[in-house]
Structure 1
Amino acid sequence: MTYVDVKGQIDQTLHDPSVEEFNTTKLLRNAARQAEQRNYKDFLIVDCDSHHYETDLLPEILRFMEDPVIKHAGLARGQLGRSGLVPHMVGSQDMAGRITRYPGRANEKTPPEEHREITLMRRWMDALGVDMACMFPTPMLGLSTHPQLDVEVALARAYNRWLCEVVLARDPRLCSMLYLPLNAPDEALRMVEEFSGKTGVIGFMATGNRNRPVHDNAYMKVYSALQERDLPLAFHAIYNWNDQSLAQLNKFISVHALGFTLCNMVHMTNWIINGLPERFPKLKTIWIESGLAWIPFLMQRLDNEYMMRTSEAPLLKRKPSEYMREMFYSSQPMEMVGNIEMLESTFKMIGAETQLLYSSDYPHWDMDLPSTIYDLPFLSENAKRNILGGNAQRLFKLNPVFSDVKLAARQTAAD
């Protein structure tokens, strides 16, 4: 199949009046044109933070649940988002219905021979020019706020089993950092031991508000197991309007602006000041979906405090900013409105050429296309290649798998 053939199939989907009104490929036709104009065919693009809606898949996921009582309760109540299994996150991520891909996905047609989630993932990936994507859930990112620990653990395990066996094992372009229920350290350790080495598992992920700070001694065995297996630990930020620190905010824009950054700032401050980079020097950490603007601030703030009160961080051998420059960061949402010089300075401070990982956050309302990185005037081509895919390839030890569109384009060019 040539590039012309593949592109023709996409074009036919876009313009065929018999195709269902809602179709991801049709919805993202402008993104596909943008990717074609930028000639991504020579770039490996790895999306380190993308999402799907496990909300639609409760019956499938619950087949993998070990607890019969929680399983029955979930099945009896219908969809995952209304089942009581996942805490409801207050806020208007859907832009009051203006983001059509949210309600539209339920009506999208997919072929029966392939699992629906794989088809939907491939459609948006091909349109954006993404070759490989790290999948995360969406409502379940709030599991860490669940008041019932047994529900968090049971659902996390069921989801992880479903994702590994049903999706990741069937498509080499898809991978994931699996959810860790750090509210239950023994169960988190069990998950690391059980799922490490599974096809498509490239690390593990923790989310927002915890019952314990990240430096609690109960977590040391989890960190040790990750370091021993050379698997990264990602902190995926979330917002929680019920958190006391955000309770005074009266607009979603406010809690969204501060909540995601505050979440990771608290975890990182505890991580560094309590000496975890020295205790686990080979454990790689990734800070996801909190943007980049907070990082220079925290570097400067912690360095300043540390130089005045080094006795309170006795395990540290270097300034906090030096440890932060060795960590990894996802790009989305990249704050770049109106001040390209400040963004360039931020890239220099974090060592973006080797430490920044492209992420789209698709299909969320504030997603970023690969052009967010590709179009930056201050980046060399080598830096763009690293950020868009090379850094992730090295960090996760990926065997690159290119999309059919790119492979066809290369074959056409070779012919």
Structure 2
Amino acid sequence: MTEVSVRPVVSSPSAKRSQLIDVDVHERADLQALVPYLEPMWRKYITDFGWQPERVLPYSQYAAGGLDRLDAKLPDGRPGGSDYDLLRRQLLDEHDIDYAVLTGWLDASALQPGWAEFKTALMSAYNDWQIADWLSRDDRLLGSVHVNAHDPIGAAREIDRIGSHPKMVQAILYIADKAFGDPYYHPIYEAIARNNLALGFHHSENAPTALGFHRYFVEWHTLVPQVFMSELVSLIFNGVFDKHPELKVFMIEGGFTYVPHLMSRADQQYKELRSEVPWVKRMPSDIIRQQVRFATQPTEEMSLTQFMRLIDWCESDELFCFSTDYPHWDFDSPTEALPQGLSEDLQRKIFVENAQNGYAKMPALRTAGQ
């Protein structure tokens, strides 16, 4: 770990950043686009029965473009992330991104259980569509293996089927209302380990707060970190990290300012109650520092001193990886999201190295002049 300091350093992300990995970019598939990749027995659920993903969140997105940036919506009404050329212009080219990890839109892990075989097949179709329509079009795009967590054996089979693809860097689970540390899901982690992938956990509108869904969107959105804390606690104390000490986990679209509190609280409980979980061999904070990364979006406004103090409390500058969450309404620009004055070394860790070190299959970055 590099020693951190709260002393301001005069520089800015826009002036000093030369490379960038974005760990959360959403491409979006129209369901009809998946039909050619489904076997005939599954196509009818979309073509004949009109299946649509269940919408759980009882709010409208309180923004001009709904879920997305208004300028990311297509003239024909399609949502942001539906068109590669627009994404390329607005994100990859405008912000000079070296690699963008696609995290998708449709994921069966966040859908209610039921029709398990169909949803497993749907994720296979999504993966094939992602490779054909996105990964093959731009060297800067990297993929996530989408699986149906409600079918762990089927999910493991899908990871083994597609996880060796050179542009797949992680398997992704969208968080809903399940504690994924449960041994029921362990076949998924075993498959991830076999294929040298990272594991991404992504925020979902299917995830309630500790008290369900509050009256207003602003309440629910404020409390998003609750579900990330719940998942990490479940993974830690159910022994997932001890069973797979090489596994790297990315917590995506949940922010990161909650991390010092979680580390402190979990450490104290482990000291007092470790006899209940004898398979956990390390302090929770050490597990987090060694095996977990947090995507920065949505970044909260803070001063340089506050940001550096947060890193100091975590006792690591290797936990945070930059993400834009394109094309969503709360998109974070790499030139504006983080405090001005970060040292060049810290910028490089957040914008590049922490993601590089977390994704075992991350390709090498270009060098100056390439």
For the aligned pair, the TM-score class normalised by the smaller chain equals 0.7 to 0.9
Aligned-partner SS, 1:123: helix
What is the aligned counterpart of 1:71 among 43, 48, 59? 43
Which residue in the other structure is 2:169 paired with?
Answer: 202
What is the aligned counterpart of 1:38 among 14, 17, 21? 14
Q: Deviations over 1:274-293 (max 9, x none)?
A: 22221111111111111012
Q: Deviations over 1:170-195 (max 9, x none)?
A: 32110122222111001110111001
Q: Does 1:120 align with 2:72?
A: no
Which residue in the other structure is 1:388 paired with?
Answer: 351
Aligned-partner SS, 1:169: helix
CA drift of 1:373 comes to: 5.7
What is the aligned counterpart of 1:166 among 121, 133, 137? 133
- Computing the radius of gyration from Cα coordinates, the structure with the larger value is 1
Q: TM-score, normalised by structure 2?
A: 0.84
CA drift of 1:48 comes to: 0.3
Aligned-partner SS, 2:74: helix
Q: Deviations over 1:254-279 (max 9, x none)?
A: 11121x31221111101111222211
Which residue in the other structure is 1:249 paired with?
Answer: 214
Which residue in the other structure is 1:131 paired with?
Answer: 98
The 1-side partners of 2:112 and 2:258 are apart by: 24
CA drift of 1:398 comes to: 2.7
Q: Is the 8 A contact 1:236 1:287 kept in 2?
A: yes
The 1-side partners of 2:228 and 2:75 are apart by: 31
Which residue in the other structure is 1:240 paired with?
Answer: 206
Q: Which amino acid aligns with 2:271?
A: M
Aligned-partner SS, 1:205: strand
What is the aligned counterpart of 1:214 among 180, 202, 206? 180
Which residue in the other structure is 2:32 paired with?
Answer: 59
Which residue in the other structure is 1:176 paired with?
Answer: 143
CA drift of 1:58 comes to: 2.5
Aligned-partner SS, 1:104: coil
Q: Does 1:84 align with 2:51?
A: yes
Distance 1:100 1:373, change over 3 A: closer
Structure 2 gaps, min length 5:
1-12
Q: Is the 8 A contact 1:239 1:263 kept in 2?
A: no
Which residue in the other structure is 1:320 paired with?
Answer: 284
CA drift of 1:385 comes to: 1.4
The 2-side partners of 1:271 and 1:130 are apart by: 32
Distance 1:304 1:352, change over 3 A: closer
Q: Which amino acid aligns with 2:210?
A: S
CA drift of 1:246 comes to: 3.8
Q: TM-score, normalised by structure 1?
A: 0.76
Distance 1:168 1:387, change over 3 A: same
**Larger helix share, 1 or 2:** 1
What is the aligned counterpart of 2:301 among 324, 336, 340? 336
Percent sequence identity is 26
Structure 1 gaps, min length 5:
1-36, 78-82, 109-115
The 2-side partners of 1:204 and 1:355 are apart by: 19
Q: Is the 8 A contact 1:142 1:238 kept in 2?
A: no
Which residue in the other structure is 1:18 paired with?
Answer: none
- Equivalent pairs counted in the alignment come to 350
Aligned-partner SS, 1:368: coil
Distance 1:123 1:76, change over 3 A: farther
Distance 1:221 1:186, change over 3 A: same
Q: Deviations over 1:48-74 (max 9, x none)?
A: 0011222xx3222111012x3441231
Q: Is the 8 A contact 1:208 1:238 kept in 2?
A: yes
Distance 1:222 1:146, change over 3 A: closer
Distance 1:186 1:292, change over 3 A: same
Which residue in the other structure is 1:20 paired with?
Answer: none
Which residue in the other structure is 1:101 paired with?
Answer: 71
The 2-side partners of 1:151 and 1:256 are apart by: 31
The 2-side partners of 1:278 and 1:39 are apart by: 41
Distance 1:305 1:247, change over 3 A: same
CA drift of 1:199 comes to: 3.6
Which residue in the other structure is 1:30 paired with?
Answer: none
CA drift of 1:76 comes to: 4.5
CA drift of 1:317 comes to: 2.2
The 2-side partners of 1:48 and 1:276 are apart by: 23
Distance 1:335 1:251, change over 3 A: same
Q: How does 1:258-337 map to 2 (within 5 A)?
A: 258=223, 260-326=224-290, 327-337=292-302
* Relative contact order higher in (CA < 8 Å, ≥ 6 apart): 2
The 2-side partners of 1:95 and 1:72 are apart by: 35
